[in-house]
Amino acid sequence: MTERLTIRRPDDWHLHLRDGEMLKGVLPHSARDFARAIIMPNLVPPVVRGDDARAYRDRILAALPEGADFTPLMTLYLTEDTDPDDVAEAHASGLVTAVKLYPAGATTNSASGVRDFDKVQGVLERMAEIGLPLCVHGEVTHADVDIFDREAVFIDEVLDPIRRATPGLRVVMEHITTEDAAEYVTEATGDIGATITIQHLMLDRNDMLAGGIRPHFYCLPILKRGTHRPALVEAATGGNPRFFLGTDSAPHATDLKENACGCAGCFTAPIALSCLTEVFDEAGALDRLEGFASLHGPAFYGLPVNQATITLEKGAPIDFSDSVPTGAGPVTVFNPGRPVHWRVAS
């Protein structure tokens, strides 16, 4: 049995840091274990223009603990008024690594997102020309579509038509949650990848709903039927370079999660690598952990692999912290409700 494992330092290809006091409180937990992260732009107001991304990056860098080695990879929030020239300029300067598509109303702070996809076609065409990836929150928001079906419907009604209409567009389907999405990414032609979260690899909707509602498992896209989780684990652990780690760690103050209309998001950053290694160990795929966590993402984004390493050790079950203090209130740390034996040693 492997008791100690060293891999290249991983990256997080989908991360929420928020802003202000929340940013200051949660950033150290990602910066400790990850070398780089794709930073989500759904602030209030959102990060729409290059100047917004530059200012947000400066605030992140200013909040880093002394001596931390962490690079925020900035994104722009796609709106129906996004200027293709501004996007191209931000990309050419090295400031922006991707653009994020939120269907309006799909998740936290998505009100400024896209309603009419025809209105962003010009931006998508420019992105295809310059090779700038589009990161997609893949859900429709029609009231007549069940929340558990929104991802599968999005693939058929939105994502596939966009990709057919925009040859060469590089797409990351973020935080996939279904067998449908795993199959689509595996079988699709063209330049496409997908991220998978910790919670979707470890849990299904029974974990969230059976025996009482567990608000700290509530996220969007929502946890699905148990038949989907094995397909996600197979995609993550199977060695396919189209799949890579995006934690979607999404902090909210505990009182905003534990109320009558709780916020969507799981704060997984402090324990992400421990939980991920547990999943790969259970699948008998520790030899493929480095690919999913450290190699596939840089390859898709055209970035160098990290030269530094990180070591994980297996032992007695770890003690999960209840919460992380921040100036915006305590944030409850994700706990999968079962033993996790791996911890980051160095």
Cβ(74)–Cβ(42) below 8 Å: no
Our measurement of the distance from residue 33's CA atom to the centroid of its chain's CA atoms, rounded to an integer in Å, reads 15
* Residues whose CB is less than 8 angstroms from the CB of residue 58 and which lie 6 or more positions away in sequence, other chains included: none
Tokens of 5: 């494992």
Burial of 44 (0-12, 13-18, 19+ CB in 10 A): exposed
Cβ(138)–Cβ(173) below 8 Å: yes
CA distance 153 to 151: 5
Tokens of 257: 């999660």
CA distance 47 to 270: 25
**What is the SS3 assignment for 9?**
coil
Encoded amino acid at 127, one letter? M
Cβ(257)–Cβ(208) below 8 Å: no
CA distance 165 to 311: 44
Place of tokens 């860098």: 61
Place of tokens 């209030």: 44
Cβ(201)–Cβ(185) below 8 Å: no
Residue 204 annotated in active site: no
Encoded amino acid at 320, one letter? F
Tokens of 235: 């995609």
What is residue 145's DSSP assignment? S
Which is the catalytic residue, given 52, 204, 248, 281?
A: 248
Q: Which residues pair with 96 in a beta bridge?
A: 74
State the catalytic residues.
248
